[in-house]
Amino acid sequence: MSSCLAIETATARGGVAVVRDGVTVYEQHFASERSHNSQLFSPLSEALKLCRSDLRCIVTGTGPGSYTGARIGIAAAQGLGLSLNVPVIGLLSVLAPEVDKLPPEFVVCGDARRGKFYTARVRSGLLEGEITLHDAEEFKGLRAKDAEIAWLSYDQKPPLELTNITLTSPSPSRLALLASKMADESLWSLEQQPLEPHYLAAPFVTKAKPKKM
């Protein structure tokens, strides 16, 4: 037997899950805008009681979403990985939406701020292409073109208030399940990659105004 532990804190609804041999044996969610750091450790402690002896890997969601939230999950995962000597990997949160029956192809979208919206197309559990940014008109056009495909969002309200977008959140148990299905070589390859939140755009820096002489 082997277990995978998942931490998902990239959105306002955080969660921890343990999957053992393809079955979810623990999953706990918590809602918080800014204090995942204070609400994460109780469910994380409970999860570790179930999987410490057979833990194969730890996976954390990397977004897109809250930069601070994702960093909290990453830091917790890295700390556990070091102390328990198990691999730690990151997977995009868009790969694991919480829906009753996940279709083979879907799009996760959201507000990327500054008048931009992102889309991530997932097919058979893998990201197809890149996560891309669009202005409002492009975004609405893409949704209209993809009328037969499920569109999901982790935002608290549908982007541009479109009625054909389903609101959901990332599922830590789905993240753990994705990791549990990976071969050892794939886990090792992901473990070598830098673990950081997914950036939708470069940070916006406000330049200081020149001083008046």
pLDDT attached to residue 205: 46
**Mean per-residue pLDDT for 183-188?**
95
Domain ranges of the chain: 3-95+169-191, 105-167
| Tens-digit pLDDT profile for residues 84-93 | 999 999 999 9
**Mean per-residue pLDDT for 160-173?**
96
Q: How many CB atoms lie within 10 A of CB 161?
A: 7
Whether 3-95+169-191 and 105-167 share one fold: the answer is: yes
What is the CATH topology of the domain spanning 105-167? Answer: Nucleotidyltransferase; domain 5 (3.30.420)
**Could you tell me the CATH superfamily of domain 3-95+169-191?**
ATPase, nucleotide binding domain (3.30.420.40)
| Tens-digit pLDDT profile for residues 41-85 | 999 999 999 999 999 999 999 999 988 899 999 999 999 999 999
**Mean per-residue pLDDT for 177-195?**
95
Q: What is the pTM of this model?
A: 0.91
CA gap 86, 58 in Å, rounded: 7
CA gap 100, 39 in Å, rounded: 26
